[in-house]
Amino acid sequence: MKESFLKKMAQDLLTLEINTIIKEEMSAVKMPSARQALYELSRLYHKKLQEMGLREPVYWQYAGMRSFGELRDRAKRGTEKMKKKLETASEDEKENICENIKILERIQEQSSGIVGIFHQLRESVKDKIGKTAGYSDVPEPVKIKILEDMKNKGELEPAKSHRESEMWNNDIDRQRMNEIEDLNLRPEQIALIRKAWEIGIFGSFFAGMC
């Protein structure tokens, strides 16, 4: 179910829309690695939520499942707050509030899709590491041995750490992202991240309309 949702979302993002515009937050350069693209996207969302006074409290400042989950939740609460504010706003205030609502909805939607990607990656690693036992039941030394075997067979690029979470998650600092292999993504997952990274927080002529 999640997989079909992500595929549809990626297809929708790749569809050329007449109302797409260019904004300063959009990127026209080649996307870096998936890990770095997610980091840049998380920084953009973090900055925008901070500007709106909606980012606190900050628990995760990276670019993995928990980070984007936190950004999604802050954007959701911000949307609810803005919609309440809209009810008593003057006509002059409404346009700006509506634009902020659309930005927050975009942050929430994109962050939710990215969290879904991390869930899929985690399940993929679970399948590879713990096929014959519950993932949580596999002792840590056994997991490390399996990862070593995978690396020796060429199934896993060498890394400085054998923490299996780094194979699917990205809640690490930027330097660490440069030291380990990139996320192993399917084409539709890459497409979703690339379009979110390219569009940023804008993408419609009607961003200011509720």
Q: What DSSP string describes 47-69?
A: HHHHHTT--PSP---SSSHHHHH
Residue 128 CB neighbour total at 10 angstroms? 15
Containing structural domain, residue 39: 2-11+26-199
Please report whether residue 20 resides in a domain.
Answer: no
pTM of the model: 0.70
pLDDT of residue 126: 73
Please report whether residue 207 resides in a domain.
Answer: no
Q: What is the pLDDT along the chain (210 residues), one digit of tens a residue?
A: 555 555 555 545 444 333 333 344 444 568 889 999 999 999 999 999 999 999 988 998 899 999 999 999 999 999 999 999 999 989 889 999 999 999 999 999 999 999 999 999 988 877 666 554 444 455 556 555 665 666 666 554 443 334 668 889 999 889 989 888 999 999 999 999 999 998 887 654 444 466
Please report whether residue 17 resides in a domain.
Answer: no
Q: What angle do CA 60, 9, 77 make, to 5 degrees?
A: 40
Residue 206 CB neighbour total at 10 angstroms? 12
Please report whether residue 55 resides in a domain.
Answer: yes
Which token pair is 86? 């809209």
pLDDT of residue 31: 86
Please report whether residue 173 resides in a domain.
Answer: yes
Rounded Cα distance, 127 and 195, in Å: 28
Please report whether residue 208 resides in a domain.
Answer: no
Three-state DSSP state, 185: coil
Please report whether residue 205 resides in a domain.
Answer: no
pLDDT of residue 132: 40
Please report whether residue 113 resides in a domain.
Answer: yes
pLDDT of residue 151: 60
CB contact burial 22-56 (16+ within 10 A = b; e otherwise):
eeeeebeeeeeebbbbbbbbbebbbebbeebebbe
pLDDT of residue 206: 47
Three-state DSSP state, 120: helix
Q: How many domains does the chain have?
A: 1
pLDDT of residue 160: 36
pLDDT of residue 62: 92
Three-state DSSP state, 100: helix
- List Cα–Cα distances, 99 to 94, 146, 198, in angstroms: 9, 50, 19
